[in-house]
Amino acid sequence: GENVEQHPSTLSVQEGDSAVIKCTYSDSASNYFPWYKQELGKRPQLIIDIRSNVGEKKDQRIAVTLNKTAKHFSLHITETQPEDSAVYFCAASLSGGYNKLIFGAGTRLAVHP
Amino acid sequence: DGGITQSPKYLFRKEGQNVTLSCEQNLNHDAMYWYRQDPGQGLRLIYYSQIVNDFQKGDIAEGYSVSREKKESFPLTVTSAQKNPTAFYLCASSPPGLRGNQPQHFGDGTRLSIL
């Protein structure tokens, strides 16, 4: 079946460093790729998304890149801060289903002061 | 997202008991979804609904049931047939738009445990 693979599962960085999380999807018809941040015990919150007609999108310290040919997309966080510590999930839309998303397993990011 | 309300926040189920999780949204979204999240894992889709009086099974629908009698409400019942119900349950909704191109917004979740 369709799936999204996310790597790494855990990531530890020093404050101020950059963090990169990568996802690979299997459905070549996927056309929407959101990223969510989830703090412990709380709801996932959308932090950035990208559509298949765009190769890169940036919002302050966060950027997402998409390579449709290779079927992978990445989240880049620059100048990391302790409050960036959370679990990050990528997702990809599924073709043939109304706005259905399939999620990656998540990356636990720890930013150390 | 303040427009999606899940209740209760914590729920305990006894053996053989059905329990219902509430999800209400005031965002005027057409589509609503239920996900299950187990510790250290991603979100798995249980059921989703595109419009009132219509819903579809997701990847792990066995042991669960839903209804969509009103646009604002999408309750999830965890039946006694679900043998491992302990998890964090998240409800989400999304606005109408191009297929696969709308963000989903989540509620605060319900944590279900077995007594």
Q: What's the pLDDT tens digit per position in B4-19?
A: 999 999 999 888 899 9
Residue with tokens 């899940």: B6
Which of chain B's residues have a Cβ under 8 Å away from the Cβ of A106?
Answer: 40-42
Neighbouring residues of B61: CB distance < 8 A, sequence distance ≥ 6: B46, B47
Question: What are the strands, taking DSSP E only, across A10-60?
Answer: 10-14, 19-25, 32-38, 45-51, 56-59
Mean pLDDT of the region A57-72: 96
Start-to-end Cα distance in chain A: 41
Q: Quick check: A95 and A1 in contact, CB under 8 A?
A: no
Mean pLDDT of the region B52-77: 96
Give yes or no for A45 touching B (CB within 8 A).
Answer: yes
Task: State which H helix or E strand residue B41 sits in.
Answer: none
pLDDT of residue B16: 86
- Report pLDDT digits (tens) over B24-44: 999 999 999 999 999 878 899
Q: Quick check: B33 and B104 in contact, CB under 8 A?
A: yes
User: For residue B110, what are the β-bridge partners?
Assistant: B89
Q: Quick check: A95 and A26 in contact, CB under 8 A?
A: no
Summary mean pLDDT of chain B: 91
Look at B115 and B52; give whichever has higher pLDDT: B52
Which of chain A's residues have a Cβ under 8 Å away from the Cβ of B60?
Answer: none
Classify A82 as helix, strand or coil: helix
User: For residue A32, what are the β-bridge partners?
Assistant: A51
CA-based nearest residue to B74, from B35, B36, B48: B48
Give the Cα separation of B43 and A72 in Å (integer).
19
Give the Cα separation of B1 and B8 in Å (integer).
17
- Report percent pLDDT > 70 for chain A: 96
Give yes or no for B39 touching A (CB within 8 A).
Answer: no
Interface of A with B in 89-108 (CB under 8 A): 89, 93-95, 97-106
DSSP codes joined into one string, B56-101: EE-TT-TTEEE--SBTTB--EEE-TT-S---EEEEEEEE-S-STT-
